[in-house]
Chains A and B, each alone.
Chain A
């Protein structure tokens, strides 16, 4: 049976994670993973378990997100991750059209649901993920910047470099150099 994810609003600390785990245990709900804002249930959570969990979380200042929105956010994230992190070949996608098509909802609606819970827009989530992929590829040291920019569908190396600098404050080459130095530095201790 496939695992189910539920989303919880206002989870802000490791202490919250402990408390949520405790509540899940009390209700006999098995989980494989509890992250900030997200719980992976082993199998499916029943309706009555959910009806009990909701008020318990509310008591400690947390809020169980309704199924529909929870599933949508998850699907949006998965589509973005699938395209950016799991593609083998060069990525040529219009993300808003693609996400909207895959999920069968108007993009504006999806975008609003996403921002409301995640605190950032889908576009920002896409950019963060692309930059993360760039970092990974830089560290593998197999591709140069122009190959990376082609792979991730940047219009040019300078577009990639500018976005990287805008998000991280660092140039791609400085990032790479720093990571290598840091690896050596931390290993030597």
Chain B
């Protein structure tokens, strides 16, 4: 079973976000980067399926030079190879553009399944998985928390989050699945695997190699553009409510009803 995992390198979850002058980016100095956590679930699931069924796990990313670190991390978890779409003219586009680029990078691979995170924790778009599925003409299931592949490799039984609960669906393969927390516990790369990962192949591709037009799928063709970034107004500490538990509780209920008017 050959699996493609699409991932994105993002500022790590500890990052304190400050807006850079100009308002179109965050301050990047001193920021540490990681594979977006939901993409790690995708890598882990791909590795488990390979351990069960054999085959190959291929990582794909669109990103600058430093995104190679994210690919190396995935390779050190155990993926076999990677494709790095590295082309300045393709960076800064919108989700439609990113999905078109990823689809171009993926379409000639022989794969049975495409896995990716439900969203990247920087832009929070939560749409690239579905856009990629549409581009590839494949079915998609979002927010997957459990995945079982049928013995013939033609269908998968998938549990995924729906409003207020969960649903079990059967999906024909190949398909694009977006991964949600709960699917698995991603492994940590072992030292020998980190060493091995340094020698694993990364194919670097640009717009020309993929046959995509940067004027369409790059920033120039974007239909969703950033106007301004800001940080939310800081919250102020409010009232401390004193007294014994019964008094404090009664006071709180009164304030929530009369002052905040939320209950």
- Do chains A and B stick together as partners? no
